[in-house]
């Protein structure tokens, strides 16, 4: 399984209507792009652990999109619904990190870690 992981912080001037438009674009990407297996969006939670203080940047939101394979990820990235989402994202985001990972169940960790 491939996980497309996006961490982001919105610009200070983002309005409630901007957030509504972004939410609609996320929902469209989820519903219109067939290769999306799962699509999660969340807000950062703080609970007092020491590692929270070690973060040099604060990313308020995260999105995790799951695909069966790299071809599914590529289909998502090239789909018109994603292109619209990406343009809107760029206009609303102050800072973004994007990473793609090949994921395995915990029982397969040894193979992923090369041991």
Note the pLDDT tens digit of each residue in 49-92.
Answer: 988 888 888 999 999 999 999 999 999 999 999 999 999 999 99
Assigned domain for 33 exists? yes
100 in Cβ contact with 73 (< 8 Å): yes
Question: Strands 2-10 and 38-43, how do they pair?
Answer: unpaired
Listed residue (13, 16, 40) closest to 27, CA to CA: 40
Q: Which residues face 10 on adjacent strands?
A: 93
The domain spanning residue 21 has which CATH number?
3.30.70.100
Assigned domain for 79 exists? yes
Domain count, the chain: 1
Assigned domain for 69 exists? yes
Mean pLDDT, rounded, of the chain: 93
The domain of 87 spans: 2-109
pLDDT beyond 80 at 7: yes
Assigned domain for 59 exists? yes
């Amino acid at each position: 399984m491939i996980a497309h992981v996006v961490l982001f912080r919105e610009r200070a001037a983002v309005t409630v209507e901007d957030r509504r438009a972004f939410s609609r674009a996320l929902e469209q990407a989820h519903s219109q792009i067939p290769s999306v297996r799962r699509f999660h969006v969340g807000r950062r939670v703080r609970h007092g652990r020491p590692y929270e203080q070690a973060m040099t940047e604060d990313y308020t939101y995260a999105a995790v999109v799951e695909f069966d394979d790299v071809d599914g990820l590529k289909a998502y990235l090239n789909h018109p619904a994603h292109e619209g989402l990406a343009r809107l994202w760029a206009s609303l985001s102050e800072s973004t990190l994007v990473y793609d990972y090949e994921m395995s169940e915990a029982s397969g960790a040894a193979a992923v870690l090369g041991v």
